[in-house]
Chains A and B, each alone.
Chain A
Amino acid sequence: MWALSNKVAVAGIGYSALTRRSETPLVQLAKNAIDTALADAGLTRRDLDGLATSPGMPRYGGAKGTVEGVDVVTPWFLGEQLGVQNRIAYTGSTNGMVTQAFIDAAMAVASGVCTHAVVYRALHVPPGSYVNFDSTFASGQDQYFAPFGFSVPPAWAATVLRRYFEMFGYSRGDMARYIVDNRANTQLNPNGYWRGKPIARDDYLDARMIADPMSILDCDIPVDGCAAILLTSAERARDLKQKPALLSGMAAGTHSPPSSVPMTLEDIWTGCEQVAERIWASSGMGPTDIDNAHLYDGFSPFVFLWLEGLGICKRGEGLAFLRDGHGALGGKLPINTGGGALGEGRLHGMTQIIEAASQVSDRCGERQVPGARRAIATISNGLTKSTGFVFSRGEP
């Protein structure tokens, strides 16, 4: 078990508005989220001494924006913008996903490098199509994908979903219940982009195909916005305003598929199982210790593949678990109780961490899992750059 298990806590949460294309500059959205997270904990900017993120714009194909405050918000720039640059003792910035910065920030807090660290993710939707390979040449790994029209990330997930469907005899109809229930969860989440827009089974079955069998409703929606999480020591958290959510364990994945393909079903299984082994070892827990799960859903198939990789379901049985409603609120294991990224908007895993921490500190309002004690959050698809976290209730 991790020596620092339950020594670091989530003590504050903040969101900016999440909209499709915001008139407000990204840096202001970031400041809004961070001020909200600080206030949530009963703190001010003057208490902040750590900032961590992964600032890249995740656009595929076309040019990526790099303008500070518009396309990206780095922690150095943000410290200045918040007027507390000279107080910031720790800055973290990863090339992977933001949830790796969460690991770094937790260690910075645990080791005493800083006292109050905010992990944030500010995302900007670029103008034009999010996915548009408009370069003449494809270099690096793209040379094996883009010439074949395989540069649309949902198409990568589609090859995983298709193989799963064919191997185990499922179809999109088996996914419908989860997608509909997930959108219903979103209706109970004040931050949800899709709040106010419930859907029915036929909406899913008739949804526009991006890359068959992946429809638009199997993909999270890119938004302009920011989410922020305040981390501090468990001890310090007890003096702050909210009930703490204790970080019991964390893990990162390092499994890669062959470099000629972006992902395969088999590699995702292997990767999720690797993260699972590490997260259970880190937290000293196992699948039966968890009472709610927040499984990355940037693309819908990852939800049931995480169920399988974590050992909650056997290979091939994860989709049946969702089809039969076991992941719904009130089900055996409520999953993505706030609607996940499919419902809330694309925040690269912040959604899963925030919901997990919120459940074990009784902060989920109408979607609260009664008495939730331990929650797991998994981020990405199980392959390299994936992460997992277990949060536990801080007080009875």
Chain B
Amino acid sequence: MSEAQKGAVPMRPRPLPDEASEGYWQAANEGCLAIQRCQDCRRWNHAPSLNCPACGSGDLDFEKVSGEATLFSWTVVHHSPGPGFAGKLPLLVGIVELAEQPHLLQVANLTGCSEGDLHLGMPLHVEFERIAEDCALPQFRATGGQG
């Protein structure tokens, strides 16, 4: 257990990788957004799973994506989600749609923008927030385009 986890300040929950998601979080920790892709039907698949939900194939691999995304929806969280978020509220949470495929969605905190700037289709780019020595979260930054 790291010093940060032992300390008095509660940490935000960190992802516990599993058999399907290990590659995703490992890539994120190395500063790379890699999404699972079916090697048979070529569909991108997120969250990762052991079989492709589209064709059933078990031949899935992580491939680096562009990191480009647009804003699909968002919320501004005021009610504390838990002890790890003290001092972080209100929190901008976006559902972002990755450029690679329609409805390829993921949850992220939004940076480089304020609540009033947000609009559907707003262009975003991935960045990584290190929350522990061995864990980084993919987050999304507004790229300043006009959407």
Interface residues of A (CB under 8 A from B): 61, 129, 131-152, 154-155, 158-160, 162-163, 166-167, 208-214, 258-261, 264-266
- Give A147 to B119 CA distance when docked, in angstroms: 23
Closest B-chain residue to A267, C-beta based?
B103
Closest A-chain residue to B11, C-beta based?
A136
B55 at the binding interface (Cβ < 8 Å):
no
Given the contacts A136-B11, A163-B72, A166-B120, A260 and B77 also touching, CB distance less than 8 Å: no
Contact indicator B82/A151 (Cβ below 8 Å): yes
Contacts of B91 in A (CB 8 A): 149
Contact indicator B82/A134 (Cβ below 8 Å): yes
Contact indicator A148/B16 (Cβ below 8 Å): no
Residue from the list A133, A167, A212 in contact with B76, Cβ < 8 A:
A212
Could you write out 11 A-B pairs with CB less than 8 Å apart? A135-B13, A140-B18, A143-B16, A148-B107, A150-B93, A155-B81, A163-B120, A209-B79, A212-B78, A260-B47, A261-B107
Contact indicator A266/B76 (Cβ below 8 Å): no
User: How big is the B interface, by class?
Assistant: 35 or more
B137 at the binding interface (Cβ < 8 Å):
yes
Q: Report the tally of A-B residue pairs with Cβ distances under 8 A.
A: 147
Contact indicator B105/A162 (Cβ below 8 Å): no
Contact indicator A155/B82 (Cβ below 8 Å): no
Contacts of A152 in B (CB 8 A): 77, 79, 81
Closest A-chain residue to B131, C-beta based?
A147
Contacts of B128 in A (CB 8 A): none
Contact indicator B106/A162 (Cβ below 8 Å): no
Contacts of A138 in B (CB 8 A): 13-16
Contacts of B130 in A (CB 8 A): none
Contacts of B115 in A (CB 8 A): 212
Closest B-chain residue to A208, C-beta based?
B78
Closest A-chain residue to B10, C-beta based?
A134
- Give A213 to B73 CA distance when docked, in angstroms: 12
Contact indicator B120/A149 (Cβ below 8 Å): no
Given the contacts A137-B14, A148-B137, A264 and B95 also touching, CB distance less than 8 Å: yes
Q: How close is A162's CB to chain B, nearest CB, in angstroms?
A: 5
Contact indicator B79/A148 (Cβ below 8 Å): no
Contact indicator A265/B82 (Cβ below 8 Å): no
B42 at the binding interface (Cβ < 8 Å):
no
Contact indicator B13/A142 (Cβ below 8 Å): yes
- Give A264 to B102 CA distance when docked, in angstroms: 13
Query: How does the 8 Å CB contact mask read for B68-106 relative to A, with 1 for contact and 0 for none?
Result: 000011111111111111001011010100000001111
Query: How does the 8 Å CB contact mask read for B15-28 relative to A, with 1 for contact and 0 for none?
Result: 11110010001000
Q: How close is A69's CB to chain B, nearest CB, in angstroms?
A: 28
Q: How close is B69's CB to chain A, nearest CB, in angstroms?
A: 12
Q: Which of B72, B82, B91, B120 has the most CB of A within 10 A?
A: B82
B141 at the binding interface (Cβ < 8 Å):
no
Contact indicator B14/A214 (Cβ below 8 Å): no
- Give A232 to B47 CA distance when docked, in angstroms: 44
Contact indicator A162/B93 (Cβ below 8 Å): no
- Give A265 to B74 CA distance when docked, in angstroms: 12
Contact indicator B109/A149 (Cβ below 8 Å): yes
Residue from the list A154, A159, A266 in contact with B103, Cβ < 8 A:
A266
Given the contacts A147-B131, A209-B78, A260 and B73 also touching, CB distance less than 8 Å: no
B51 at the binding interface (Cβ < 8 Å):
no
Q: How close is A305's CB to chain B, nearest CB, in angstroms?
A: 14
Contact indicator A144/B77 (Cβ below 8 Å): no
Q: How close is B37's CB to chain A, nearest CB, in angstroms?
A: 14
Given the contacts A212-B75, A260-B46, A147 and B15 also touching, CB distance less than 8 Å: yes
